[in-house]
Structure 1
Amino acid sequence: MKRLIRNLGLLLTLVAVSVMVTACGSQSLASKNVLKTDQQSKTVTWGVKADTRLFGLLDTKDGKIKGFEIDLAKALTKQMLGKNAKAKFIQVTSSTRIPMLKNGNIDAIMATMTPSPERRKQVSFSDQYFLAGQSLLVKKGSSIKNVKDLNEQKATVLGVVGSDSVQNVAKVAPNAKVLQLTDYAQAMTALKSGQGQALTTDNGILYGMSIQNPGYEVTKGSFVSEPYGIAINKNQTQFRLAVNQALKQVRASGEYNKILHKWFHNVKGFDYEEAAKE
């Protein structure tokens, strides 16, 4: 019996030590100054999409993620830390990006993310770097021309888990049915297979999907404004201010416009002035 009590006491001690170590680790992570750490390593770790054409898409030929947000992240990194600084990229999804940021796996999120009131409760945001608008992707010849048609036809609209697009469309088309998929690749597959009559998200993302899938088109107009911002942990004010300053400098130098034109020059109907609004 005494041995059992001693063993139980030892077990409780080990558990207590484990909890203390975990707590100390979390406290250390939460108090880490991201800007100073990145200045020392000359590296910024960005959480980016790898399934979103034009913004961040994995190139299977060389295994690298490429897109507007990737190039902009590289430009901001060099502006903040010097010409020899490196941008490191880690793939995120709409549902994993905030947890990964809060866990310290990444320094910032640049992944077609809109600073909604709900998200602002969890993280801070930089100034906007791209102004999108929510729209619909439909098969060419579809009877759905706008969000009102979704509502009238009680159609099924496809979205992505973790994106606020689904909540937005539910507000303006309450009669529509909603089916959420893990990522845009799955959502596009579902649209092609007839599981839904439209796919909804920001028009910038939809333009990329229409280029890849010529039989589909983006409906005219948008029904919700969707400005993109860089998400940063709330306690990293110095890092957020550095990002904002770098963004202003990249815009002022003309590099921002070069990157924007590089990725969107062949997108029919794309409004450069609208997208670049500050």
Structure 2
Amino acid sequence: MAERRRGAAGPVRPGLFAATTALAVTAAVLVPAAVGDGGTGTDRPGPRAAPARDDVDSSADTCERPEASLRPSPADGPAIEKIRAAGVVRAGVDQSSFRWGYRDPATGELTGFDIALVKAIAKEILGDEDKVVYKAIPTNRRVRALRDRDVDVVVRTMTINCERAAQVGFSTAYFEAGQQVLAVKKEALAPGEPEITGYDDSLRGRRVCAAEGSTAAAELAKESHGARVVPVPNQLDCLVRLQLGEVDAVVTDNALAAGQAAQDPTVELKGTPFTTELYGVAMHREDEDLIRRVNQVLEEYRAGGRSSPWRKAYDRWLAADLGLRDPVPPRPVYRD
């Protein structure tokens, strides 16, 4: 049984993947400098037509089926030509979400399920999967990075929903997840500490971490179950705070939480998913030719059943943590 000790900030669980915690803290420092004017390390504060928001309500009644995207096409257009002229795809990604987008400690290279999809997009457009400039962006900068044209695509476990779809363009869905609670296992709790059992009243009076601009933050704003919400820039910061005893639980996508649990054997997913999250590749709304081309990539990426590139990526990056019996990608939905 893992021991926990009470410190100034709360219960601290010692000896648990210090390297992971250090990596997460480093990522949190580096991320803001990675989104800006393409290399100066500063954000461009210029005027915007409207504030870009990621803290959205996926049940908004202003649209129907936000996952419906433009039909795929291999045709070139101005956005594709701009990428070809630059010679690289500028991709907004995460660098600290284990299994999805993270730096391999052994090589220092970005890798994961989302990174594999970025490579497939670059391969289709430029003929070389390595012609990518990765820009690590925090959760609450995903929309702004696209609207400011700091990146061409965002591939960062980004849920498609109505308010986001009013600000950016989305591909068809490439993965389905759900919001769920991550908390300390019962056997790892301090004596007398109550167990958190899921997205329910066991959260009352507890400190619950969620990334700013995330679907989790929006859901907690609607129904917190009496929890005190602790916002952070990136979802992995929540795992660090949980390890340090600064929060009692995390709410995030179960696909991401499974990766966090894989990094710390004293935490686990609690209860069941309470939302449906469809991840899409996000692009600027005006770049319709790019949206169609990415959908063409996804058509090919899904094709082939168990031998498809999608399934191979799932087996490599996600199978060990999610353990779905026969995973399949979401069916694409197109506009009439």
| Fold in common (TM above 0.5) | yes
Cα shift at 1:174: 4.1
Provide the C-alpha distance between the structure 1 equivalents of 2:84 and 2:130, rounded to a whole number of angstroms: 9
1:143 aligns with 2:217: no
- Is the CA contact 2:181–2:270 (under 8 Å) kept in the aligned structure 1? yes
- CA separation of 1:272 and 1:132: change in aligned 2, threshold 3 A: farther
Give 2:117's aligned residue: 72
Confirm or deny that 1:185 pairs with 2:236: yes
Matched, 1:236 2:281: no
Matched, 1:246 2:297: yes
Whether the 8 Å contact between 2:195 and 2:202 is mirrored in structure 1 is: no
User: Is the 1:131–1:226 Cα contact (8 Å) retained in structure 2?
Assistant: yes
**Counterpart in the other structure of 1:95:** 140
* Superposed displacement of residue 273, structure 1: 2.4
Q: Which sits farther off after the overlay, 63-72 or 205-214?
A: 63-72
RMSD, aligned α-carbons: 2.3
Determine which of 254, 257, 265 is the counterpart of 1:214. 265
Partner of 1:262: 316
1:42-83 deviations in Å (ceiling 9; x for gaps): 421110001110100123443321110001110122133335
Decide which structure has the larger Cα Rg and report it.
Answer: 1
Structure 1 55/179 Cα, relative in aligned 2: closer, same or farther at 3 Å?
Answer: same
User: In structure 2, how many angstroms separate the alpha carbons of the residues matched to 1:221 and 1:171?
Assistant: 18
CA distance in 2, matches of 1:93, 1:250: 26
Contact 2:200 2:225 in 1 (8 A): no
2:122–2:129 contact (8 Å) kept in structure 1: no
**Residue 104 of structure 1, CA deviation:** 1.7
Structure 1 CA distance for aligned equivalents of residues 103 and 271 of structure 2: 28
- What stretches of structure 2 of length at least 5 have no aligned partner? 1-43, 49-76, 187-193, 332-336
Given the two structures, how large is their TM-score scaled by the length of structure 2?
0.68
Separation of aligned partners in 2, 1:84 and 1:185: 27
Mean CA deviation greater in 165-174 or 243-252: 165-174
Aligned to 1:29: none
Q: Partner amino acid for 1:119?
A: R
Q: 1:175 & 1:271 partners in 2: Cα distance?
A: 35
Question: What is the 5 A alignment of 1:76-225?
Answer: 76-83=121-128, 86-141=131-186, 143-151=195-203, 153-225=204-276
Q: Is the 8 A contact 1:80 1:246 kept in 2?
A: no
Name whichever of 119-128 and 204-213 sits farther off: 119-128
With over 3 angstroms needed to count, the CA separation of the structure-2 counterparts of 1:150 and 1:171, relative to structure 1, is farther
Identity of aligned residues (%): 28
Q: Give the superposition deviation at 1:109.
A: 0.3
- Taking structure 1 as reference, are residues 271 and 161 closer, same or farther at Cα in structure 2, changes over 3 Å only? farther
Please list the CA deviations of residues 60-119 of structure 1 after superposition, one character each: whole Å capped at 9, or x if unmatched: 443321110001110122133335762321111112222222222210100111122221
TM-score by length of structure 1 reads 0.81
What is the alpha-carbon distance in structure 2 between the residues aligned to residue 80 and residue 272 of structure 1? 30
**Closer, same or farther: CA 219–248 of 1 in aligned 2, 3 Å:** same
Distance 1:68 1:187 in 2: 21
AA matched with 2:110: I
Q: 1:272 to 1:74 in 2, by over 3 A?
A: farther
CA distance in 2, matches of 1:270, 1:176: 31
Equivalence for 1:33:
78
